[in-house]
A and B are shown apart, each in its own frame.
Chain A
């Protein structure tokens, strides 16, 4: 049992009358690599965005090291700097080069010096194999490369948890591999990760826990062996069988 980092209690989120998340209970421990799977529209991404406070939960609480970050008067920006996020559509800053993308958060938010930030950024850019491209602008590199830069940008902030919101869904099959292998390496290095994904192989082989979501609730939560080998609920079996057949 690792140290408890995040604890989500009775989290609900609705957009208008549309209830997207219903009473979610969920914990993240240090070193966890959690894959969140489920059909589109089941609330996976919304859960992730709520955890990073990009969406404000309608009710419930999110405890980060025991402190409720949804409460009024909590410094959301400070909390966000501890929780990295990698988006489906990369969201690299278009007005900056690859290197600047990875430095700006460090210099502006963490108040690191230029040189320190540069070295730190380079460390992670090398790790994701993007060091030769530090002078490129985001529009000049491929989707897989953009996503690797986005991972380096998030890592350069030294986050405690890294959230991935369908990191490979916008990529063509050839580029999926390069991003997944970077993520796998991060997982092996002990990074705490929360991955919303449709890559079942990744969920099965890399993650330590798999969460299956259906219609805004956590339907099943367990180790990959349990969930893929012996799913307890009918919905989970139905969902997984669709992947096996294809």
Chain B
């Protein structure tokens, strides 16, 4: 038991001394994960769109060549960035560019390379998710859009992607949560995220385990809040299951048979008098029913 007490006091010690750097670490982690997921999704959607450009054998050879080329490029991009560790991609970019250009091109800060690496990494995963999302949409939707003369881009942006977006929302959430955790590898290029705060704290205090406990709790809190929010967004996206009938429209088919709620004879089902009588009688019935009980 006293071990737990010691852990508690160590954590308090850590937080009082390094609390600020933990907080700013959390901030940086969340910003990087959010921005990276967002840009990654954009990349994914663009790749998904490029991947599904229709191309028939009867099309012009030049068009077919370019469609093929685009597909090949997207494929290579996905395979390379999905198939290598993010930590190495960061190193490759951060140290590789200055190496090749004799320091002519180098990153002055850590934000841009970190964001670029996280974004293109997420993009590679999202490209496949988006492709899956697009494939999962009934081909009839595309045909319906084509039949009214929409182009591929119009079909995608107006009809397919909004539906695919809803379907791959769980995937986006997945990627965001993965990014919250995996941005911790960005310490390699000096990015001050939540995990970097841990390294800094233990470097000075040697309280490895208490600091790791803080990290664990911190990451779990972030991801739990994230998955809660994502569920909520999904629910919002699904929208209301009911809809409003527009019966007050003067020009509907029912015009002529049914004009206005307060018009008509007292025998008319929808007249004011009829409704008033009805509510009156309903009230009375309820009253007697309750009385008998």
Footprint of B on A, CB under 8 Å?
Answer: 52, 54, 56, 72-73, 77-82, 84-85, 87, 89-95, 97, 104-105, 108-109, 122, 126, 129, 131-137, 140, 150, 153-154, 157
With A93-B159, A126-B251 as given contacts, are A136 and B60 in contact (CB-CB < 8 Å)? Answer: no
18 A-B interface contacts by CB (under 8 A)? A77-B150, A80-B149, A84-B148, A85-B143, A87-B143, A91-B138, A91-B140, A91-B147, A93-B144, A94-B141, A95-B162, A104-B159, A105-B148, A108-B150, A126-B253, A132-B253, A133-B246, A135-B243
Indicate whether B252 reaches chain A with its CB closer than 8 angstroms.
yes
**In the bound complex, do residue B145 and residue A93 qualify as a contact, i.e. CB atoms below 8 Å apart?**
yes
User: In the complex, how many angstroms separate the beta carbon of A160 from the nearest chain B beta carbon?
Assistant: 12
**In the bound complex, do residue B140 and residue A87 qualify as a contact, i.e. CB atoms below 8 Å apart?**
yes
A215 to B166, CA, bound (A): 42
A49 to B80, CA, bound (A): 40
With A93-B141, A93-B159, A132-B246 as given contacts, are A77 and B252 in contact (CB-CB < 8 Å)? Answer: no
Q: Which of B232-263 contact A (CB under 8 A)?
A: 239, 241-247, 249, 251-254
User: In the complex, how many angstroms separate the beta carbon of B242 from the nearest chain A beta carbon?
Assistant: 8
Indicate whether B277 reaches chain A with its CB closer than 8 angstroms.
no
> Dominant SS at the A interface?
loop
A136 to B246, CA, bound (A): 10
**In the bound complex, do residue A80 and residue B148 qualify as a contact, i.e. CB atoms below 8 Å apart?**
yes
A206 to B121, CA, bound (A): 60
Indicate whether B56 reaches chain A with its CB closer than 8 angstroms.
yes
B57's closest neighbor in chain A, by CB? A56
The 8 Å CB contact of A77, one of B140, B151, B245, is: B151
User: In the complex, how many angstroms separate the beta carbon of B40 from the nearest chain A beta carbon?
Assistant: 23
- Residues of B close to A136: CB separation below 8 A: 243
Q: Other than the known A56-B58, A77-B146, A89-B140, what 10 A-B pairs have Cβ atoms closer than 8 Å?
A: A72-B58, A81-B148, A87-B143, A93-B159, A129-B252, A131-B249, A133-B243, A135-B244, A140-B241, A157-B149
A105 to B159, CA, bound (A): 11
Instruction: List the count of A-B residue pairs having beta carbons below 8 Å apart.
Output: 105
Indicate whether B154 reaches chain A with its CB closer than 8 angstroms.
yes
A239 to B246, CA, bound (A): 46
**In the bound complex, do residue A84 and residue B151 qualify as a contact, i.e. CB atoms below 8 Å apart?**
no
B147's closest neighbor in chain A, by CB? A85
A136 to B247, CA, bound (A): 13
**In the bound complex, do residue B247 and residue A132 qualify as a contact, i.e. CB atoms below 8 Å apart?**
yes
The 8 Å CB contact of A87, one of B56, B144, B247, B251, is: B144
**In the bound complex, do residue B148 and residue A131 qualify as a contact, i.e. CB atoms below 8 Å apart?**
no
User: In the complex, how many angstroms separate the beta carbon of B244 from the nearest chain A beta carbon?
Assistant: 5
**In the bound complex, do residue B253 and residue A80 qualify as a contact, i.e. CB atoms below 8 Å apart?**
no
A54 to B246, CA, bound (A): 35
With A109-B154, A122-B251, A132-B245 as given contacts, are A80 and B146 in contact (CB-CB < 8 Å)? Answer: yes
A78 to B148, CA, bound (A): 9
**In the bound complex, do residue B252 and residue A92 qualify as a contact, i.e. CB atoms below 8 Å apart?**
no
Instruction: Give the 5 A-B CB pairs with smallest separation, nearest first.
Output: A81-B149, A91-B144, A105-B148, A85-B147, A91-B140
With A87-B140, A91-B143, A91-B144 as given contacts, are A137 and B58 in contact (CB-CB < 8 Å)? Answer: no
User: In the complex, how many angstroms separate the beta carbon of A41 from the nearest chain B beta carbon?
Assistant: 20
A73 to B62, CA, bound (A): 12
Indicate whether B158 reaches chain A with its CB closer than 8 angstroms.
yes
**In the bound complex, do residue A132 and residue B144 qualify as a contact, i.e. CB atoms below 8 Å apart?**
no
Indicate whether B163 reaches chain A with its CB closer than 8 angstroms.
yes
User: In the complex, how many angstroms separate the beta carbon of B255 from the nearest chain A beta carbon?
Assistant: 9
**In the bound complex, do residue A135 and residue B147 qualify as a contact, i.e. CB atoms below 8 Å apart?**
no
**In the bound complex, do residue B140 and residue A137 qualify as a contact, i.e. CB atoms below 8 Å apart?**
no
The 8 Å CB contact of B149, one of A93, A94, A105, is: A105
With A85-B147, A91-B143, A93-B141 as given contacts, are A137 and B239 in contact (CB-CB < 8 Å)? Answer: yes
With A72-B58, A105-B148 as given contacts, are A132 and B254 in contact (CB-CB < 8 Å)? Answer: yes
A150 to B141, CA, bound (A): 12
The 8 Å CB contact of A134, one of B150, B246, B253, B254, is: B246
